[in-house]
Structure 1
């Protein structure tokens, strides 16, 4: 059975973090440097929220707040939905669409071990569909192994 953990194993499970007392500008610099759409916000090793592009747009830009003086803790998402490594990709996609979020922290034994994005899930489903289509073509053309 394929799981979110399998996707993380393939893409890498590095968790990018930011302190709650960092400015939004610092967080955006970090997001741009690593080309990601969200950062886990941690106090020490403890996750306290997530800061995403949506938080930036809605809670900073539209609210006309200054990114250089606004703290991440003031605008981050506090109630973050998490999944386990054993979560099926279809279930993770249902959670993302149901909660209207784009990133899900992956928790294993109480620790955040990675973050999976909607892009990761779309890529996973796309690759699986390509494989299934090729298998069906091989079957129809008689090249399918017996």
Structure 2
């Protein structure tokens, strides 16, 4: 399955913040949206990803005083992207190798969605289930 197909079924909603958003506001947004990461954009340009993992690092390094600081101080700046034409298997490898759980998806340089490790796992489970059902049907018919 391709990234574009996952986005088609889940939608292309992207929840983003600006680099000057405070850590406290970013945390509120994560909680309100029930998501694990926010895409940090400066205008139309993706400049980072702020995840729960970044929050843990912020609290560890700066404690409660970090809540008033901008996410640009804590976000992951080396953003790894996905392309709509890539396969789920490719993403699984990239996410596993890099130990990341969220990939912004760019199409012609434009942000069109976010794929999470949960999306990838859900897709792989669905494919395995479909394959098992096809085998059952084939065996039963034979």
Q: TM-score range by the shorter chain?
A: over 0.9
Question: Is 1:129 matched with 2:114?
Answer: no
* 1:35-68 CA-partner distances (Å, limit 9, x unpaired): 110001011221111100110012x122143343
Q: Who is 2:60 aligned against?
A: 62
- Give the Cα–Cα distance (whole angstroms) in 2 for the partners of residues 141 and 24 of structure 1: 57
3-state SS of paired residue (2:29): helix
Q: Who is 2:52 aligned against?
A: 53
3-state SS of paired residue (2:68): coil
RMSD: 1.2
Q: Who is 2:108 aligned against?
A: 109
In the superposition, the TM-score normalised over structure 1's length comes to 0.92
Alignment of 1:1-146 (within 5 A): 2-58=1-57, 60-66=58-64, 67-142=66-141
Q: What's the offset of the Cα at 1:83?
A: 1.3
- Give the Cα–Cα distance (whole angstroms) in 2 for the partners of residues 80 and 47 of structure 1: 8
Q: What's the offset of the Cα at 1:31?
A: 1.1
- Give the Cα–Cα distance (whole angstroms) in 1 for the partners of residues 83 and 104 of structure 2: 8
Q: Structure 1 segments of 4 or more deviating over 6 A?
A: none
Question: Comparing both structures, which one devotes a greater share of its residues to helix?
Answer: 2
3-state SS of paired residue (1:82): coil
3-state SS of paired residue (2:61): coil
* Uncovered stretches (5+) of structure 2, i.e. residues with no partner: none
Q: What's the offset of the Cα at 1:101?
A: 0.4
- Give the Cα–Cα distance (whole angstroms) in 2 for the partners of residues 26 and 76 of structure 1: 14
